[in-house]
A and B are shown apart, each in its own frame.
Chain A
């Protein structure tokens, strides 16, 4: 609290604006990191492990590109929050009316439900490493997540989950330990390498969907709105955005590197959590599965706690229904109903017998990637509207980059579907 008032006071004085104050930077950091580490969730690990296992280092070049595009998207969302003080759903409704916001919310609902689904698949497959069958682990996890989201008390255990999710930092150590061909890895990071197969393309769409998930945009903007950050606070928010994006990208780079160096030469394709965990074997040996399982459970659980709340909050914001964890069933039936439905649907799909859990995670990321352009179009149109954003409207460069993402993902998706339809898979 004290930070905020002093913050305002400091930015009122012009001289204080010239240099960022380190203490305030630290204070602003956090939401970006949460988004980044929650991004290393079930879907992320599945996608990157697959990318490494199937194509070795060949998809490493996507990481810096994704990192940059993620920064563009997240910065836009945070800036919109700072300038307007409103959530993304609110802005879409006010700028585009009922019909288009219904479309946007439908896209968000589908995309977030599939991501939640993939988180449950992540929890199920991670706990399967400890020999807990999905029929036991999923209902227990679903009930726990439902209780935590409903009572709004997940923030209390947020730090614990974040700490567990930090297990994925071991990929960095593991990557160094396996002693990959660093020269080759660096060249592949800089030089794009495209294999024209449906598998490669769908992995590419999936990595976009994982790296720039729609829910991250909503999360980033609502964090800023909740803090009531103003345009003066933008520099700090930018620091947060960039550090979060870079941290997320470093982790994903090392996941691809490690799996590419360990699994690809051995010809192991990732069909389950135990295959993905095998990439950590050179570092921790027998403990690889336990470590991987713990990390995957933590990250997936964190994301699964965050997602239903964000989704329901955005939908209710757009349509003007009561929302918030402190509202009872009688006050906010739709808010609580959506959360319950999202969790229930996800949990039920995952406990279907013999369902391919890793397959679910991958498909969810592809769906995410396909729906991303829909929401990005809304975002870029609002962000470049001078009536809304004033002098903080999108620059030409930012517009061009966002439109590039939209067009690129759309084209990739179309090619992917066409190739699959022609039976080239």
Chain B
């Protein structure tokens, strides 16, 4: 084994032992799985770059020097061939995509085949810590290896073979690559999208430009981040962008177009084919988050009088990139949807069988204005692979497929989690650490501390420290209950859809909120009263005597605050629903912070208002 880092900078000696320069680079022929080293680049006298053929002129080489077969005057210079790549210039220290492990990595060193063999070949790129250490100093690598072995954690090399490298920074489209060279193009669009999301913004555009139309369309539909997809789109030239849109499924394309600004979207749509354009425009005509928006208009339909053989002929004649067919839909003379035939039924039936005999007539359909969540839930409920979307006359407009339904459910689930205030807040979704979760759950402590400060500020003049603290004890209860009030609202919001007939009405909810407020407020007041009578009882030392009225005041204020928190719950519900209506995301955490702040304010106001009548002041 020899590494590029050990060869670079070594002296190059000619047949007479005369030094002609130092090694600066190696060229490889890209057409093989383990590419041969084809040329040697070295820095000649006066820093002139020189390149010669490896096969013709290199005699022997090792970690210390390279010997040439001829004297310096007999050297014939060569030039970089179109299918050659320079190791140090194009690969070393650069970012590459490991298409096997599907990660973006930086090349720390390059591993070459054994020095004893006649031909020197590239084995792969070293991307692990060992390559780094070796490049810093070979001794460091040895020390690290020994240490690692002592502690029983062997330090393996992390080699990526040439056939699994994709040099993202260099456009290799005009370099002839080996047949086995697995590039980004061969990967699944979802994996390509993952990798592109991990690159720098500029590289994203470059890599994206290297993909072919089909891969681009596929990857584009798979991006998690709509804004990033729209930006990539913005950086493409308009003809390419519109061609890619035509390539995509109309529902994905419509989603993407809706992210662009109006002028750009119009321009792109106008450049597209008439048919695709119409499909996308039609989808864009429906409101966001409706069945119409996520349906695809690519459906296999056939007249209900047709036979199985006709249906098979229809399927055979479909375009290659037609949306995967799960059902064949039947239409009657007026174009209304009259039945559906599954693929299984088609396959097992005789060719002459009439489709109407195989068809299921009692269809579950959706209207284009239906909420996407309802449609997705129905698809899950009825175990469908696709649900037809029909207009008021019963005409088939398109289908919502199960993969889109899964996306919808995932999206809605994430939204619900956010409202519930648990975890998952925008960018740190999934990675929110336990500590953050704890801090959020216990935000009332911070608010309580602020409340105590504010209380001290408001009544500080007339009360001592101990009395202020005692008065603030019930505030903690009020804050926790305010937090609970919000959880009560969010739970209700997640469980009940306003459009469901059987969900409780707003008026009912309001009364329940009021009832809970009265009940819990009374409970707080009672507990405080009980505490006060304990303090006042002869069993307790007299030093606590003065605290009775303070505690009562605080308790009464907390009771008022609790009542306020629960009775305002319909307001929170209204806010949640109206924001949901406008497709805005709401964080449950923010909501409970607002509720707790309000509770603290009500408590303070109540304390000030009650201070005089309760005999605290003056």
B544 to chain A, nearest CB (A): 30
**Chain B residues with Cβ under 8 A from A225's Cβ?**
200-202
B500 at the interface (CB under 8 A from A): no
Knowing A1-B227, A2-B261 touch, does A150 contact B433 (C-beta < 8 A)?
yes
**Chain A residues with Cβ under 8 A from B95's Cβ?**
90, 320
B417 at the interface (CB under 8 A from A): no
**Chain B residues with Cβ under 8 A from A8's Cβ?**
234-235
- Are B428 and A86 neighbours in the complex by a CB distance under 8 Å? no
Q: Mark B431-462, 1 if CB is under 8 A from A, else 0.
A: 11101100100000000000000000000000
B314 to chain A, nearest CB (A): 41
Q: How far is the CA of A150 from the CA of B436 in the complex (A)?
A: 10
Q: How large is the interface on B (under 10, 10 to 19, 20 to 34, 35 or more residues)?
A: 35 or more
A151 at the interface (CB under 8 A from B): yes
Q: How far is the CA of A346 from the CA of B135 in the complex (A)?
A: 31
- Are B230 and A320 neighbours in the complex by a CB distance under 8 Å? no
Q: Mark A83-116, 1 if CB is under 8 A from B, else 0.
A: 0111100100110011100100000000000000
Q: Mark B122-156, 1 if CB is under 8 A from A, else 0.
A: 00000100001001100000000000000000000
**Chain B residues with Cβ under 8 A from A325's Cβ?**
427-428
B428's partner among A1, A152, A228 (CB-CB below 8 A) is A152
**Chain B residues with Cβ under 8 A from A86's Cβ?**
200, 202
B231's partner among A4, A90, A94, A326 (CB-CB below 8 A) is A4
**Chain B residues with Cβ under 8 A from A227's Cβ?**
201
- Are B427 and A152 neighbours in the complex by a CB distance under 8 Å? yes
B529 at the interface (CB under 8 A from A): no
**Chain A residues with Cβ under 8 A from B436's Cβ?**
147, 151
Could you tell me which residues of chain A, from 181 to 239, have a CB within 8 Å of some CB in chain B?
Answer: 225-228
Q: How large is the interface on A (under 10, 10 to 19, 20 to 34, 35 or more residues)?
A: 20 to 34
- Are A98 and B132 neighbours in the complex by a CB distance under 8 Å? yes
Q: How far is the CA of A359 from the CA of B521 in the complex (A)?
A: 55
Q: How far is the CA of A147 from the CA of B434 in the complex (A)?
A: 11
A153 at the interface (CB under 8 A from B): yes
Residue in B92, B106, B201 whose Cβ sees the most chain A Cβ within 10 Å:
B106
Residue of B nearest to A86 (CB): B200
**Chain B residues with Cβ under 8 A from A5's Cβ?**
230-231, 234, 260-261, 264
- Are B234 and A102 neighbours in the complex by a CB distance under 8 Å? no
Knowing A6-B261, A86-B200, A86-B202 touch, does A320 contact B105 (C-beta < 8 A)?
yes
B108 at the interface (CB under 8 A from A): yes
**Chain A residues with Cβ under 8 A from B203's Cβ?**
85
Knowing A5-B261, A85-B201, A151-B428 touch, does A320 contact B439 (C-beta < 8 A)?
no
B424 to chain A, nearest CB (A): 12
**Chain B residues with Cβ under 8 A from A226's Cβ?**
201
- Are A1 and B200 neighbours in the complex by a CB distance under 8 Å? no
Q: How far is the CA of A152 from the CA of B227 in the complex (A)?
A: 18
**Chain A residues with Cβ under 8 A from B430's Cβ?**
328
A147 to chain B, nearest CB (A): 6
- Are B136 and A98 neighbours in the complex by a CB distance under 8 Å? yes
Residue of B nearest to A97 (CB): B93
**Chain A residues with Cβ under 8 A from B103's Cβ?**
322
Q: How far is the CA of A98 from the CA of B109 in the complex (A)?
A: 10
B94 to chain A, nearest CB (A): 6
- Are A97 and B135 neighbours in the complex by a CB distance under 8 Å? yes
A130 at the interface (CB under 8 A from B): no
Q: How far is the CA of A1 from the CA of B230 in the complex (A)?
A: 8
Residue of B nearest to A5 (CB): B234
**Chain B residues with Cβ under 8 A from A90's Cβ?**
95, 200
B205 at the interface (CB under 8 A from A): yes
Q: Mark B257-272, 1 if CB is under 8 A from A, else 0.
A: 0011101100000000
**Chain A residues with Cβ under 8 A from B205's Cβ?**
228
B93 to chain A, nearest CB (A): 5
Q: How far is the CA of A47 from the CA of B230 in the complex (A)?
A: 46
- Are B231 and A319 neighbours in the complex by a CB distance under 8 Å? no
B230 to chain A, nearest CB (A): 6
Q: Nearest 4 A-B pairs (CB), nearest first?
A: A320-B106, A85-B202, A98-B135, A228-B201
Cross-chain pairs A/B with CB under 8 angstroms, 21 sampled: A1-B230, A1-B261, A4-B234, A8-B234, A8-B235, A85-B203, A86-B202, A87-B200, A93-B93, A94-B94, A147-B433, A147-B435, A151-B431, A228-B201, A228-B205, A228-B231, A319-B106, A319-B132, A320-B95, A325-B427, A326-B431
Give residues in B with beta carbon < 8 Å to A: 92-95, 103, 105-108, 127, 132, 135-136, 198, 200-203, 205, 227, 230-231, 234-235, 259-261, 263-264, 425, 427-428, 430-433, 435-436, 439
Other A-B contacts than A85-B202, A151-B428, 18 sampled, CB-CB below 8 A, are A1-B230, A4-B231, A4-B234, A9-B264, A84-B202, A85-B201, A93-B93, A94-B94, A97-B92, A97-B135, A98-B108, A147-B436, A153-B428, A225-B202, A228-B235, A320-B105, A326-B427, A327-B431
